[in-house]
Amino acid sequence: MAADGGDGMTEEVAVLGAGMHPWGKWGRSFVEYGTAAARAALADAGLGWRDIGSIVGADTVRGGYPGYVAGATFAKALGWQGARVTSVYAACASGAQAVNTARAQILSGLADVVLVVGADAAPKGFFRPVGGDRPDDPDWLRFRVLGATNPAYFGLYARRRMAVHGDTPEDFAQVKVKNSALGALNPYARYRKQVTAEEVAASAVVADPLRLLDICATSDGGAALVLAGMEFARRHGARDPVRIRAVSTVTPRYPNTVLDLPDMATDSAAAVQPAAETFRASIARAAYEEAGIGPEELSFAEVYDLSTALELQWYEDLGLCGEGEAAKLLREGVTALGGRIPVNVSGGLASFGEAVPAQAIAQVCELTWQLRGDAGDRQIAGARVGIAANQGLFGHGSAVIAVR
Amino acid sequence: MPRTRTPVVAGWFAGDGDDFRLLGTRCSSCTSVFFPREDSHCRNPGCPGGDLEEVPLSRHGRIWSYTDSRYRPPSPYVTDPELPWEPYALIAVELESERLVVLGQAVPGVTVADLTVGMEVEIVPGVLHEDTETVWTTWNWRPTGVTA
Ligand SMILES: [Zn+2]
């Protein structure tokens, strides 16, 4: 039995439509970004909103009550039409949870065709905990007791890589150089200017050893997908659609020995031997097992580059290379467009900035466009298999494998 | 009137000087140690659940990693907006016998330039901030041999 509780491969669902609202700092409501993305995905699928039997919204904690019931918020904005509604939250992994919920409804026969939507309107500066005195909330405590912002954790991971694997700030900067060049080719990206290594090195240190241009910004944005059962897709005339073959939503296993956001300490490994693989590595493995696909079969990957150094960590966690070999992979151009396994051809978070509940959905939009051959100047030749991976704080794994 | 000294979180640390310790809890059934303390139930999924007893954590550990905060963190971190921001270092420390990593601020005056991964540090009492009635206390990590 697989760690996710399943017993191996599941049936596939078809991606009939993908749509996004451009990322940026637009100063409008998340509802507007989400409905724009939803309409784009419906148009892409050749379906009307009233053809949709179920809508799944990925929640935002920054939009007040409507953000906590995002599915209903988007359904109302699109015009109530009676569809089944679900709203899910899993921090950065909310989008993958929404995709997984839609898939489960389709595979169980609850719905033929499901609209998945996530959108956010981000605050200025650091993400901060919701207000009030909440000493029982680790997210509140890490700010109150340590002032430990998200970039502080990214700084810890980056320094650890430097000490253990010999990565350098110059390696980290090269991730930004690669991703900014790709983001320049993506009309949905917020940052579309190519960045040089010198510009990264000249930007201010935020959390040693990381600089401003090593760390992803927070953005407004919206993304949506129309998912359907294979039978519905055939009836609808989609003969060779992009298919989602696996969705990993695993949690860590005790003891979790990597310091994770928002915790101030790891579990103790004194009494129980930790698993041989880290939580992040288990996220990808569960997806590979479910898909019946290994890392050597991937055409490309979209990973959650909250920082440049974290992108390198993902290379190892996805099994694209051995432990400590990520910087070498990058230096050799293996993960660049035209390399053996391009990573973040969308431009990644480096070019988008994070719009939390939309981000994992946006990753699947990129998988879809690449697998269809619709990615324009950033198209990967002959893309057949893609993986999108991320990790949401509080122990949320997220990985999606799509094929064509 | 003297200000009261209040821990920023109750029950996480205690003692003065060389007796200062972080306080965790240990499961009487499986011996798992928890920090921050678990007081209701052991989190080891293979454990039927035992009594959780308070235990002081090791005074010394080795640096797992470190960073700093070059910009003023947002509320609820308390800072004086009238004063220029002074960065402080954050250190993640691996405790050998407990086999866990605990994050903490470095003692004032220690910067990232003074630190390396693997360096030995010790736990010392610290002050997070002060207001008119209260001195809010916390824990700090200090490289062994440094006196402050
Ligand atoms: Zn126990």
pLDDT tens digit string along A1-12? 344 445 556 799
Q: Tell me what pLDDT residue A79 has.
A: 98
A242-288 pLDDT tens trace: 999 999 999 999 999 999 999 999 999 999 999 999 999 999 999 99
Which percentage of chain B shows pLDDT scores above 70?
97
- CB-CB: which of B32, B35, B45 is closest to A265? B35
Tell me: the pLDDT tens digits for B34-71? 999 999 999 999 999 999 999 999 999 999 999 999 99
- In the CATH hierarchy, which fold is given to the domain comprising B59-148? OB fold (Dihydrolipoamide Acetyltransferase, E2P) (2.40.50)
Cα distances from B75 to residues A199, B7, B79, in angstroms, run: 31, 18, 8
Q: How far apart are CA A304 and CA A369, in angstroms?
A: 18
pLDDT for A298 = 98
Residues 13-32 (B) with a CB less than 8 A from some CB of A: 27, 30-32
* pLDDT tens digits in sequence order for chain A, 404 residues long: 344 445 556 799 999 999 999 999 999 999 999 999 999 999 999 999 999 999 999 999 988 999 999 999 999 999 999 999 999 999 999 999 999 999 999 999 999 999 999 999 987 767 777 777 888 899 999 999 999 999 999 999 999 999 999 999 999 999 999 999 999 999 999 999 999 999 999 999 999 999 999 999 999 999 999 999 999 999 999 999 999 999 999 999 999 999 999 999 999 999 999 999 999 999 999 999 999 999 999 999 999 999 999 999 999 999 999 999 999 999 999 999 999 999 999 999 999 999 999 999 999 999 999 999 999 999 999 999 999 999 998 899 999 999 99
Among chain A residues, the shortest Cα distance to B37 is held by A265
What is the structure's pLDDT at A136?
A: 86
CB-CB under 8 Å, B36 with A156 = no
CB spacing of B66 vs A255 below 8 angstroms: no
What CA–CA distance (Å, rounded) separates A223 from A116?
Answer: 8
Above 0.90 for ipTM, yes or no?
Answer: yes
CA atoms within 13 A on the CB side of B13: 27
What is the radius of gyration, based on Cα positions, of chain B?
17
Number of C-beta neighbours around residue A18 at 10 A: 27
Whether the CB of B40 is below 8 Å from some CB of chain A: the reply is no
∠ at Cα B132 (B128, B133), nearest 5°?
85
For position B14, what pLDDT does the model report?
97
Of A57, A68, A123, nearest to A95 by C-alpha is: A57
**Which residues of chain A make contact with B101, given a CB cutoff of 8 A?**
257, 259, 265-266
pTM: 0.95
Q: Name the CA radius of gyration of chain A, rounded.
A: 20
How far is residue A251's CA from residue B58's CA, in Å, rounded to a whole number?
A: 29
State whether B76 and A156 contact (CB < 8 Å). Answer: no
The SS3 of residue B119 is: coil
> Ligand 1: distance of its center to the CA of A264 in Å?
21
Tell me the domains of chain A and their CATH numbers.
2-125+219-235 (3.40.47.10)
CB contact under 8 A, B65 and A156: yes
Hey, where are the domains in chain B?
59-148
As given in the structure block, the two tokens for residue A285 are 């493995």
> Which of B27, B30, B36 minimises the CB distance to A264?
B36
